[in-house]
Amino acid sequence: MTTQPIRNKNHVRELAGYWLKRGNLRNYALVVLGVCTALRIGDLLRLKWQDAYDESHGEFRTHIDVTERKTGKQKTIALNSQAVKALMMLLPYRRNEYIFASNRISPAPISRVHAWRVVKVAAEAIGITGQCISPHSMRKTIGYFAWKSGVHPSLIMDIYGHTSYEVTRRYLGISQDERDRVYLGLALF
């Protein structure tokens, strides 16, 4: 089964909120930044505080610069207000240089397996069923909602670094039901 984007905004909020209600700010920030930055989980886990926070000025950066591990491409990502808010909440509890610091190994980020558990546990707890949800779902979610809000597919392709619309279309999980809604929703005559 292919990993799917989270297609319901309430589920996106509940996924992050699950960890916030439990006081786990690291996991909350992981979900928020995973959705807000569209980074692959490996790149997200490698983020360090210096990437997002300017210690000398005592403020969060407006953008983060990432060299994608998979492609080697340099990417600049704007940090939106939700991402900054999540980081702000986590900042007083930073353990080491990594934003998503491991509790067991220092200095190191949590593992990809742990990140998978963070997403899976929250998804099951809030009742997201019938879909394959994983950390990659967070990356796919921002593109899905951008597409639904009318963002041109070429811009979504650029955000993901895809070279073809077909790849992006599959990535977003544009399904027959959604195509049907277009046909059935048009009232031109």
Domains held by the chain: number? 1
Residues 153-178 have pLDDT tens digits of 899 999 999 999 888 988 887 776 67
Distance set, CA 123 to CA 37, 70, 128 (Å): 19, 26, 5
Within 10 angstroms of residue 33's Cβ, the number of other Cβ atoms is: 28
Residue 42 lies in a domain: yes
Three-state DSSP at 77 gives strand
Residue 1 lies in a domain: no
pTM: 0.91
Rounded Cα gap, residues 170 and 31, in angstroms = 22
Residues 112-137 have pLDDT tens digits of 999 999 999 999 999 997 778 999 99
Residue 128 lies in a domain: yes
For residue 153, give its domain range.
Answer: 9-185
Residue 3 lies in a domain: no
Rounded Cα gap, residues 104 and 110, in angstroms = 9
Three-state DSSP at 153 gives helix
Question: Do the Cβ atoms of 160 and 168 come closer than 8 Å?
Answer: yes
Residue 102 lies in a domain: yes
CATH of the domain at 51: 1.10.443.10
